Amino acid sequence: MCGIVGLFLKDKTLEPQLGAMLSEMLIVMTDRGPDSAGIAIYGSATPGQAKITVQSANPDVDFAGLETALGETLAAPVAVIRKSSHAVITLPLAVLELARAALAELRPAIRVMGRGESVEIYKEVGLPAEVVKRFSVASMSGTHGIGHTRMATESAVTTMGAHPFSTGPDECLVHNGSLSNHNNLRRELKRDGVRFETENDSEVAAAYISNKIAHGMNLGEALESGLSDLDGFFTFVVGTGSGFGVVRDPIACKPAIMAETDRYVAFGSEYRALVNLPGIESARVWEPEPATVYFWEH
Amino acid sequence: MATFDLATATLRELNAQLHATQSGSNDTAWEVLNPRGAHSVAVGIDAPLHVDVHGSVGYYCGGMNSQGTVTVHGSAGPGVAENMMSGIVHIKGDASQYAGATGRGGLLIIDGNAASRCGISMKGIDIVVRGSVGHMSAFMGQSGNLVVLGDAGEALGDSLYEARLFVRGSVKSLGADCVEKPMRDEHLAILADLLERAGIDDVEPSEFTRYGSARTLYNFNIDNADAY
C-alpha cells in the first residue's frame, strides 16, 4: 500500500507548524505501511549556504570530529548538527559538490539522504510516530514538505530503501505503487552517468526526474515525460526548492486526495490524513485526475 | 434516535451495535458523528436501519449493506457500498474509486462526482450519480443500471456483460464491446423510476443516451483478439 502525505504552505504564519502538521498527517497513515517512514522538510534557505543531510549506522563513530575534518578538507566554514542517526551539514553552496566527494573519502560509511539549499531529509526503518519523534520533526518549521510510510514491495526494508528519495539538489520524491520497468530504466540512466544507492524502484523514478531536469526540462515537463516512460502504478508527490507536485499514472488505482485553501495545498493517500488541517471543512477537496500533473510554486 | 460519536467510541463498537439491531427493533435510526475519514463505517448492516453519518468517510462505507439506508453528509472514500445487497447508500458529496463495486442489489446515490471504476463488476446494483464518473466505469458490469447525469471518463463499460448504462453528458470513450444503444420505452421507464427513487426531478429520461454490451466478447473469437 504505502501512505503519502504532503503539505505546501501559502500562509507564512503556518510555517512554524509545518513539521507538527506533517508529522500528524503521516502518523495517521501508519497502517498503510509499517516498514519505514521518512520526511523531507523544506526550511528557509540562507543565500550562499547549502545543507547535506547524512545518515550513519554508527553515528557515534562517523559524526565524531566530522565538522573539523570536513572544514579542513574543504577549507570552508562547516557546521554539523547531529540528530540521532542523521546529521545536517551546513556549508557554503560553492563547495556542496566538493563536500560530497570529500565525505565519501572521510567517512565512507556515511550515506547522503539529500542535499540542497533548503531540504532536510530524515528517514529510518520503523513506524512514523517513532521516526518523527527520533528526529524532532514536529518542532521543525518550513515552507513545504512531504512524508511517506512504506509497505515494502520491490526492495529490502532498510533505511536507504525508505522514502523520500532525493537524487538531485533540493529534489525529492515519495511513491505509492510499483514500477514494472525500473530495471531497464536503471540501466539506461546508469549509461547516462546516474549513480544509484539502492535496488528500489522508487529511486529509479526519482533519478529519472532528476535526470530529465539535469537535461534542461522543468519539473512539469519531467513529470509529463515520466507518464510515457514509467510503466507501472504510481502516485508520486515531489518536492523542489520552491515547488510541490503530484502525478498519478493513467490507471490511477493508487489512492490520492488533495485539499486546497487560501493557506495551503495538502495531499494525502486518504482523507483521514487531512482531517486535522485548519479549515479543512471548507477547503476545496478533490481526487487528482489520472495522468495529470499538478504543481504549485512559491 | 441513537447517536454514536466516533471521537469517543470505536468503529468496531458502532458496527457491532448496528449488527446487533434486529428487524422490528425500535432503535432503527442512528446518527454517527465525527467519522473523520474512518474506514468501514456502517458496513454489514442487515436490518432496515437508517444511519446518518455526519462528515466524510474513508474506504468501504456501507459495504455489504442489506436493507439499511446509509446517508453520508460528506464525501466517501474508495469502495463505498461495495457488494451492497439491498437498501440505499446515499452520498451527499463526492465518492472515490470503485463506488458500488460488485453490488448485487440496492440503490447507491452519489450527489457529487464519482472517481474511476464506478460500478466495476456491478451485479444487480443501481447507481445514480448526479455529477460525473471517472475512467473505466462499469468495467465488466454484469447487471443493474448505472445512471450518470454528468459526463463519463475513458473506456466506459469496458468488457461489459449486461448492465445498462445511461449517460446524460459526454462520454470520453467507450471500452471494448460497449456500444450506444437505442433508448426504447422500457428503458425510459426504468430510468424514470431510478431518477424518482434518487429524488431527482429536474432532468428528463429523454436527455440520456443508453449504452450496453455488443456481446461480441461472450465467447472467445480470434477475430476479437485485439479487443480482449
Task: Report residue B48's pLDDT band, with 50, 70 and 90 as the boundaries.
Answer: very high
pLDDT band at B108 (very low <50, low <70, confident <90, very high): very high
**One pLDDT digit (tens) per residue for chain A, 298 residues:** 899 999 999 999 999 999 999 999 999 999 999 999 999 999 989 999 999 999 999 999 999 999 999 999 999 999 999 999 999 999 999 999 999 999 999 999 999 999 999 999 999 999 999 999 999 999 999 999 999 999 998 889 999 999 999 999 999 999 999 999 999 999 999 999 999 999 999 999 999 999 999 999 999 899 999 999 999 999 999 999 999 999 999 999 999 999 999 999 999 999 999 999 999 999 999 999 999 999 999 8
Q: Is B144 left (phi over 0), alpha (psi -120 to 50) or beta?
A: left
> Residue A89 forms beta bridges with which residues?
A52, A80
Give the max Cα distance, chain B.
Answer: 60
User: For residue B62, which amino acid is it?
Assistant: G
Smallest Cβ–Cβ distance between B77 and the set A252, A271, A290 belongs to: A271
Residues of A in contact with B36 (CB under 8 A): 272, 275
CB distance A211 to A188 below 8 Å: no
Q: Which of A249, A272, A276, A292 to mutate to test the interface with B (most CBs of B within 10 A)?
A: A272
Name the residue facing A275 among B37, B78, B134 (closest C-beta). Answer: B37
Residues B62-101: pLDDT tens digits? 999 999 999 999 999 999 999 999 999 999 999 999 999 9
Taking an 8 Å cut-off on Cβ atoms, the answer to whether B77 and A287 are in contact is no
> Is ipTM > 0.85 here?
yes
Nearest Cα neighbor of B207 from B135, B152, B118, B147 is B147
B24 to chain A, closest Cα gap in Å: 35
**Residue appearing with cell numbers 502516485:** A235
Cell numbers for A137, please give them.
Answer: 520533526
Name the residue among B36, B58, B135 with its Cβ closest to that of A290.
Answer: B135
List the catalytic residue out of A1, A2, A62, A70: A2
Chain B partners within 8 Å of A287 (Cβ):
94, 96-97, 115
User: Could you tell me the pTM of the whole model?
Assistant: 0.94
